[in-house]
Chains A and B, each alone.
Chain A
């Protein structure tokens, strides 16, 4: 089976411990040192073609940085990432042709309509205008948009609708690898389910490999073939959902993915402290 992603010993930090005089004056904090943030710390993993690979982690754990590294939007300090055999640093154009990304914030030209935004996206990926117009309408209607809203400015749409347009934009280029960075965050339950069914359909129907980050444990449990749990930039566990649940002791009780997440990321809920009177 082909490997969609091979990440080997990937390391990425931001900031510098000691800068120049001007950096000292302009950038450093009150401690006298600009903080160094290790966003991704020697991470290695592989994703098989056709897989839905989940990445779970607390806020600031490095999930989005990892996606940006794969998407050629950041350069790693150390290590290597290959997408379908192409190196993200040495062969970014080849990688870009095979991927697309849906981010947590639906980034669009707000005054432009979904049709105008998506047509722009389609042309960037070398697609023909006439065919793209037809396909854009098909995808957007399939995702639940009304025909008249396709031609209205994006700023008049709800966040859920905007997120669906973002997904449509990513589908338009028929990527072999789709990077989805919290695509359902902030969506109402119905929109969330619709997006989740599109992810499933895309994976099963077209065989698209999907790398999904989410805070929704149920979503990860239902959608992902394998899940990596990342904390402070390091992968602390990687297995299928059932395998992850076996990691923590059960004492006859079936742990949820949320239990596993809290246990492994060291952020357990101490109920007695939260509800001392109960």
Chain B
């Protein structure tokens, strides 16, 4: 029982610390939110423009919704990814990494704290973008399966937590440029997952890779739920592969992180800041 309380308090330590950091960097959060809203809107307006650009009779509203869902799902998943990979990056930046890693906290507890915070933060952040988008594009979500869409997002979060944990070893192993390297992972996932286009437009070898990306299933499932109003029970063929990927990615991520931490301790990579 005492161990459980200790682990719970340690989990909460990371959540509370991150919440305090968000509060202290509030002006930055506002700037980031404004940037994200502008970014989402500019991508979504491509849908409106396609009708005029092609000169053909295209369902512009469907295209807008297609792109809106893409940008929102992607924003949500990438926010989770970055909060998790930042588990090391931010501590390197602040110079606190040694203090955190010498505390009597299991790595799974450490990651759980970071994950719970990432989920809450990303849901709130994405909801704010959704609210602005709904108002500006006058989107009607009355027929959408909101529960199914949210479920797809939450299930998809698991895989991104696992991928994020794997990505977080880069700042651990490469103190100078590790954080920047994590962008490569997210860029490849963006390319192959069908965020702004159906994956059928990709070359065959990229389509094969798309099958391995959890974002592919999350995007398909969320679009079906929100655009078509598909019932949750019919989303199961997309939920189970995402769930399995998450259940594999998290323990593999933790194992890889453990190996990387050991390597860093063996080679003196922890104490270099910056």
Q: Which residues of A contact B (CB under 8 A)?
A: 14, 65, 68, 71-75, 93, 96-97, 99, 101, 103, 105, 107-112, 116, 119-121, 123-129, 153, 169
Contact = CB atoms under 8 A, between A and B. Distances in A.
A96 B21 CA distance: 26
B102 A126 contact: no
20 contacts: A65-B268, A72-B265, A73-B270, A73-B271, A99-B102, A101-B99, A101-B102, A107-B99, A108-B94, A108-B95, A109-B94, A109-B96, A110-B94, A119-B16, A123-B16, A124-B10, A124-B104, A124-B105, A126-B6, A127-B9
Given A96-B104, A110-B94, A116-B20, A121 B5 contact: no
Interface residues of B, number: 31
Contacts of B268: 14, 65, 68, 74
Contacts of B103: 96, 121, 124-125
Contacts of A68: 98, 268, 271
A99 B98 CA distance: 13
Interface string B95-125: 1101111111110000000000000000000
Interface string B253-270: 000000000100111101
Contact of A112 (B13, B20, B101): B20
Contacts of B16: 119-120, 123
A126 B95 contact: no
Given A107-B96, A124-B13, A75 B266 contact: yes
B9 A128 contact: yes
Nearest to A76: B266
A107 B12 contact: no
Contacts of A71: 98, 102
A15 to B, nearest CB: 9
A126 B21 contact: no
A134 B20 CA distance: 19
Contacts of A72: 102, 265
Nearest to A77: B266
B150 to A, nearest CB: 30
User: In the complex, which of the residues A73, A96, A129 has the most CB atoms of chain B within 10 Å of its own CB atom?
Assistant: A73
B9 A123 contact: yes
Nearest to A16: B267
User: In the complex, which of the residues B10, B25, B102 has the most CB atoms of chain A within 10 Å of its own CB atom?
Assistant: B102
B208 interface: no
Contact of B104 (A110, A119, A125): A125
Contact of B99 (A119, A121, A127): A121
A112 B102 contact: no
B98 A126 contact: no
A112 B102 CA distance: 20
Contacts of B266: 74-75
B145 to A, nearest CB: 39
Nearest to A95: B104
Contact of B94 (A96, A107, A128): A107
Interface string B235-274: 0000000000000000000000000001001111011000
A124 B96 contact: no
A110 B266 CA distance: 28
User: In the complex, which of the residues B25, B106, B265 has the most CB atoms of chain A within 10 Å of its own CB atom?
Assistant: B265
Given A93-B104, A121-B103, A123-B13, 4 more contacts: A73-B101, A73-B270, A108-B95, A125-B103
Pick the 8 closest A-B CB pairs, nearest first: A123-B13, A126-B6, A96-B104, A124-B103, A111-B24, A107-B95, A120-B17, A97-B104
A124 B6 CA distance: 8
Contacts of A103: 98
Nearest to A128: B9
Contacts of A116: 17, 20
A195 to B, nearest CB: 18
A123 B17 CA distance: 10
A125 B102 CA distance: 10
A205 B25 CA distance: 40
A14 B104 contact: no
User: In the complex, which of the residues B25, B103, B267 has the most CB atoms of chain A within 10 Å of its own CB atom?
Assistant: B103
Contact of A126 (B9, B99, B267): B9
B159 to A, nearest CB: 28
A111 B271 contact: no
Contacts of A110: 94
User: In the complex, which of the residues A105, A112, A120, A169 has the most CB atoms of chain B within 10 Å of its own CB atom?
Assistant: A120
A127 B103 CA distance: 12
